[in-house]
Amino acid sequence: MKQRIAQIALVVNDYDEAIHFYVEKLHFRLIEDTVLSPDKRWVLIAPSDPKSCYLLLAKAASDEQKSHVGNQTGGRVFLFLHTDDIERDYKLMRKENIHFIKTPTEEAYGIVAVFEDLYGNLWDLIERK
């Protein structure tokens, strides 16, 4: 049996503002943006590595879903973005006004920094050893 996680849903307030943040500020690729209905789109984004898992930007459709935008994991780091050069990416992200909760620090597994996306979800930016 061969399995893999293809994508992870990320609940957002608005498709276009989320696309702008991830594509323009984090330099992710827009993989697909297909209109499914007047209120729903199939929007896939991914980091530059072609082997990356995709993020499905899912617009919150109910009050309960809206209450979880930016807090899908109860305040814990939600997603982990690996890089081959944390110093380069940290500087680029700071230029894009990405808010860092934790500056790059050395850990047993590599160098890690913690940043917030446009909704407040926490991400680890990691350069593995």
pLDDT tens readout for residues 97-109: 999 999 999 999 9
Looking at domain 73-129, does it have CATH number 3.40.50.1000?
A: no
CATH of 1-69, one of 3.20.20.80, 2.40.30.10, 3.20.110.20, 3.10.180.10: 3.10.180.10
Q: What percent of the chain has pLDDT over 70?
A: 100
pLDDT in tens, 64-84: 999 999 999 999 999 999 999
pTM for the model: 0.93
Please list the residue range(s) of the chain that carry CATH number 3.10.180.10: 1-69, 73-129
The CA distance from 69 to 54, in Å, is 18
The CA distance from 12 to 3, in Å, is 27
What residues pair up with 111 in beta bridges, in sequence order? 106, 127
Pairing of strands 29-37, 100-107: unpaired
Q: Which residues contact 78 (CB under 8 A, 6 or more apart)?
A: 72, 121, 122, 123
What residues pair up with 35 in beta bridges, in sequence order? 41
Element (H, E) at 66: helix 63-68
Q: What is the mean pLDDT of residues 20-49?
A: 97
